[in-house]
Structure 1
Amino acid sequence: MSTKTEEPTESAPEDRGLRLVPVLLALTLVSGLIDAVSYLGLGHVFTANMTGNVVVLGFAAAGAPGFSVPHTVTSLASFLAGAVVGGRTAVRLGRGSRRRWARLTLAAEAALLAASAVVAFVAPDDTATVYTLIAVTAFAMGLRNATVRRLGVPDITTTVLTMTLTGLAADSRAGGGPGTRSPRRSAAVVAMVVGAALGAWLVLHHGLGIPLLVTAVLVGVLAVVASGRE
């Protein structure tokens, strides 16, 4: 009597690669790096954190020293343009493979950040460099944010932490909640702090090109290894 040996089932294409939660946590670290570059190196403007940018725009409009209305408006407009492109991309690709969609978007972000790094290395003192870096990095962040929003992974927006911190406190056991998502939320906060600290150190000691290159490499790696599963 013959017996059949069961073949191991091959994992679905969506499951191949790194889960989206660690991918988004790594992108949160990248956001800290990007905002360190923009705020410390591009004239007190954010290109990832638009909540901070709106506040900065108010400071600049009131004439507070050290802030620029043109820089901030450039960042906001470029971010919104990137979000529009990200939204249209989501409509086109979002019904298919999440893995392919995430990887293509991350590849586009990596290319934009790499272009920013090239500009920072080639023309660090050019007047147009500041506006170019603000526009390109903000566009990349808008593209990413639209994608992350449509992917719908809870608690990790990759660029802002207000609701993450609120959930961490309000849903904790001390706040009367189950505390079930505390590790994920805490990891997002840590990732942002680490990215900002690393970015600040690189900007202060090595200029803008190196931290932008680091972000391009990190996002490029994520574009290769990301899966479509949470």
Structure 2
Amino acid sequence: MTTAGDSRYPPTLVTLTLVSGFVDAISYLGLGQVFTANMTGNVVVIGFALAGAPGFSIERSLSSLAAFLAGSVCAGRAELRFRERFPSEWLRGALAAEAALQAVAAVLAFALAADLLLIAVLAFAMGLRNGTVRRLHVPDMTTTVLTQTLTGLASDSTLAGGDNPRAARRVSSVAAMLLGAFAGAVLVRAQGVGWALLACALMVTATAATYPLVLSARPRRRTG
């Protein structure tokens, strides 16, 4: 069984961080200025909507927030039920569920455009993933929130008198989120929400399929 903070998790989590940037580009640009991965942004959007700022919807943001929390609850229950008995399959199963939900969201996007059900399905998928990743306890790899990662990068830097711990991991998280947001925005503008969601589902499916290989890639001991 892998340990919390296992050094083999980061490649998987970097890919998921890229997908998060993709997802928020899709939801904010294509589903009516709502977040489905970054709930900090969603809470702020609700505040904007309450103040009467144009273009923001309390209904869409609350639907996303409620579905995200429901997904996180399911992630916690799934860990209690499956992690001890199926340590490798537990994470792979969570990723497979996320990919399936994103595929469902893609079908809804082709059929219904910016519908509340579409927002809820996508937010539930991201809540399921966030609840799962949280249980891994890998520092600086939440896959959706960069505030603490950026704070650590600056406050632990040489300029601040630190020794730059996990700098490469932190920079890779920021770069992955930026790249995902850029790619998601380009695809939404060029092809629409449905194809962008399908791309997310394919990326997470590939991550789920390769995760056991990453997990089994243990360094060999030298003999003699």
Cα-to-partner distance string for 1:151-191 (whole Å, 9 max, x where unaligned): 11111100010000000111112111111200000000000
RMSD: 1.9
Which residues in structure 2 correspond to 1:102-117 (within 5 Å)? 102-117=91-106
Correspondence 1:170 to 2:159: no
The partner residue of 1:138 within 123, 143, 146 is 123
SS of the residue corresponding to residue 153 of structure 1 reads coil
Q: Supply the AA of the counterpart residue of 2:83.
A: G
> Does structure 2 retain, via aligned residues, the 8 Å contact 1:19–1:226?
no
Q: Give TM-score scaled by structure 1 length.
A: 0.88
Counterparts of 1:58 and 1:180, CA distance in 2 = 36
Larger Rg: 1
The partner residue of 1:66 within 44, 48, 55 is 55
Query: Which residue number corresponds to residue 144 of structure 2?
Result: 159
Counterparts of 2:205 and 2:138, CA distance in 1 = 21
Which residues in structure 2 correspond to 1:21-170 (within 5 Å)? 21-124=10-113, 129-170=114-155
The partner residue of 2:170 within 179, 185, 189 is 185
Counterparts of 1:167 and 1:131, CA distance in 2 = 36
Cα-to-partner distance string for 1:69-107 (whole Å, 9 max, x where unaligned): 000000000000000000101111222343211100000
Counterparts of 1:220 and 1:199, CA distance in 2 = 17
Query: Which residue number corresponds to residue 222 of structure 2?
Result: none
> Does structure 2 retain, via aligned residues, the 8 Å contact 1:47–1:141?
yes
Counterparts of 1:98 and 1:154, CA distance in 2 = 20
Correspondence 1:222 to 2:207: yes
Counterparts of 1:123 and 1:62, CA distance in 2 = 29
Would you identify which runs of 4 or more consecutive aligned residues in structure 1 move more than 4 Å?
A: none
Answer 1 or 2: higher relative contact order, Cα 8 Å, separation at least 6.
1
Counterparts of 1:149 and 1:28, CA distance in 2 = 13
User: Does 141-150 or 168-177 show the bigger shift?
Assistant: 168-177
Counterparts of 2:106 and 2:47, CA distance in 1 = 29
Residue correspondences, number: 212
Q: Supply the AA of the counterpart residue of 1:217.
A: L
The partner residue of 1:196 within 168, 181, 186 is 181
Counterparts of 1:221 and 1:79, CA distance in 2 = 23
> Does structure 2 retain, via aligned residues, the 8 Å contact 1:82–1:142?
yes
Per-residue deviation, 1:144: 0.4
Structure 1: give runs of 5+ residues left out of the alignment. 1-12
